[in-house]
Amino acid sequence: MPPKSAPSDILRIATAQLNPVVGDVAGNLAKAREARADAARHGADLVLFTELFIAGYPPEDLVLKPAFVEACETAVQALADDTKDGGPGVIIGVPLKRKSGLHNAIMVLDGGKVIAERYKLDLPNYGEFDEKRVFQPGPDMPGPVNFRGIRIGIPICEDIWGELDVCETLAESGAEILLVPNGSPYYRGKVEVRHQVVIRQVIESGLPILYANQLGGQDELVFDGASFAIQADKSLAFQMSQFEEAVSVSAWKREGEGWRCDDGPMSRIPEKEEADYRACMLGLRDYVNKNGFRNVVLGLSGGIDSAICAALAVDALGEERVRCIMMPYRYTSKDSLKDAEDCARALGCRYDIVPISEPVEGFSNALGQLFEGTAEGVTEENLQSRTRGTILMAVSNKFGSMVVTTGNKSEMSVGYATLYGDMNGGFNPIKDVYKMQVYALSSWRNTTVPPGALGPSGEVIPQNIIDKAPSAELRPDQTDQDSLPPYPVLDDILECLVEGEMSVDAIVARGHERETVHRVEHLLYIAEYKRRQAAPGVKITKKNFGRDRRYPITNRFRDRS
């Protein structure tokens, strides 16, 4: 059947904001087919999928495997064959091997065949992106694609972020509207950044732009969706939801020489605490589910970090898939015992108590001869943490549960964590969340149940956990502030050093003591070896540890200006 002819002055575009799985070519193809069928039921002429949808994004070195790239193209050819039914055409992202190299590409499908290919020109190579490692840029500036008599420009993600004037060139070569498939990961405030990028390109090109963004967690990255379009007059044409899968149809009409969207969704974009929480929740859910874990286990200490991780786990997976274990020792306070139990009861998840006195004393006795004549200190404290880590890993091995690790970004920055102890685990939902942000998220969650959460309403993190001074409880009357600056001070210095890459002088000018800044900088650098061995975790800030910030472990530089 020939493709249905769209009226020359009307184009109904379905934006497929979906959650592909990297490497699941068959599953992603099934998702694409389902979305196309849904779009057809709503009268769409064209379905726009996101960047490298059929492969999942980012595929990293997986695209260096020829069999994988071949499987991706074969799947898209099968989807092209589907379009002979006369239904919607398709724009879909796919890795393609051609004479000019391996490309991050899109294929345009209609009437039972591939009617066009376009290759990404501007390959990002910063922050979390390293596409120049695996892809070749398109050999030429991409021209518009003639889709049922309408000239559509299809720049791919970085093509509108960079400085190559791809959008302006498409306009000059006759494009009437720009449709952009993206794989743009979340960080705080990213939606506004995307809007500004698109508005700049609208001004440069004079054309309306539809920005389709991927959804879902992929290792440390969370893709938040929030697809949208900007009219040629720079106004917001439509806004899709954030952190939710959707296939939304927008109606575009030709007005004179241009196009205007006069019908599309207008969803609310969450404020920062809600957005951060939902990003952590989605990242944890997808990491657990996409990697095939049945359930999770975590140590619930009565502190705020483990409490919010428990809440995130229940919200992401449901109470029946979360197991919390309190592992008290002689320094564990009665408040902590009560707070941990109250938290688990409020969340409705399984709660067990496993005292660690016997194994800790067993280690101490075994090491007694080796340690004879030395004073007790951090080594003995860390035996407690490492005993807890061993117990959690034993439960993981026995029952197939993934261990959720619970260290926040402030602790990870300065090494306030024990290797092979509280750092044990498969995934950390708050790895990129500073301590003061943990408090803010906890207070927010006690008043709000986010959309899509499976946990209960009401106070799920006892107020006493939020109010009390944080402590590792590894020695009598210990608090974090015994060895660290107050968290508001520490977090500000860390944000300056990590996100801002600011000099010591500049940080001191903000009102911090120079000696404190020097000390925090030193702790940040010497903890790099620990961070290299840490579990992956959700990226929330503009610069997380790992993908965004790759500092050497062996490093003698210190800013002493």
Report pLDDT for 253: 95
pLDDT digits (tens, 9 = 90+) for 31-49: 999 999 999 999 999 999 9
Amino acid at 105: A
Catalytic residue among 31, 51, 73, 274: 51
The reply, when asked if residue 530 is annotated as ligand binding, is yes
pLDDT band at 392 (very low <50, low <70, confident <90, very high): very high
The reply, when asked if residue 97 is annotated as ligand binding, is no
pLDDT digits (tens, 9 = 90+) for 130-180: 888 999 999 998 899 999 999 999 999 999 998 889 999 999 999 999 999
Q: Region 95-99: what's the mean pLDDT?
A: 96
- Indicate the average pLDDT of the chain: 93
51 is an active site residue: yes
Tell me the pairing of strands 258-263 and 246-255. Answer: antiparallel
Coil, strand or helix: which one is 195?
Answer: helix
Give just the sign of the alpha carbon dihedral 122, 125, 128, 129: positive
The reply, when asked if residue 459 is annotated as ligand binding, is no
> Is there a contact between 225 and 246 (Cβ–Cβ < 8 Å)?
yes
Most distant CA pair in the chain: distance in Å?
Answer: 89
- Reply yes or no on whether the pLDDT at 242 is more than 70: yes
Coil, strand or helix: which one is 346?
Answer: helix
The reply, when asked if residue 115 is annotated as ligand binding, is no
Which of 175, 179, 170, 213 has its CA nearest to residue 193?
Answer: 213
The reply, when asked if residue 546 is annotated as ligand binding, is no
What is the enclosing helix (H) or strand (E) of 238? strand 236-239
Report pLDDT for 350: 96
pLDDT band at 7 (very low <50, low <70, confident <90, very high): low
Q: Region 298-312: what's the mean pLDDT?
A: 96
Instruction: Please give the angle made by the CA atoms of 102, 106 and 111, to the nearest 5 degrees.
Output: 130
Amino acid at 432: D
The reply, when asked if residue 60 is annotated as ligand binding, is no
- Reply yes or no on whether the pLDDT at 471 is more than 80: no
> Is there a contact between 300 and 307 (Cβ–Cβ < 8 Å)?
yes
- Residue percentage of the chain with pLDDT more than 90: 82
Cβ-in-10-Å burial (0-12, 13-18, 19+) of 196 comes to: exposed
157 is an active site residue: yes
Catalytic residue among 31, 120, 290, 409: 120
Catalytic residue among 72, 157, 261, 349: 157
**pTM for this model (two decimals):** 0.93
d(CA 5, CA 544): 48
> Is there a contact between 392 and 501 (Cβ–Cβ < 8 Å)?
no
pLDDT digits (tens, 9 = 90+) for 325-384: 999 999 888 999 999 999 999 999 999 999 999 999 999 999 999 999 999 888 988 999
Backbone angles phi, psi at 404, to 5 degrees: -90, 120
Q: Region 82-98: what's the mean pLDDT?
A: 96
d(CA 249, CA 6): 15
Which of 511, 470, 512 has its CA nearest to residue 487?
Answer: 470
| Count, residues in the chain | 561
Which residues are CB-neighbours of 2 under 8 A, at least 6 positions away? 86, 111
The reply, when asked if residue 290 is annotated as ligand binding, is no
The reply, when asked if residue 109 is annotated as ligand binding, is no
Report pLDDT for 76: 97
Report pLDDT for 1: 53
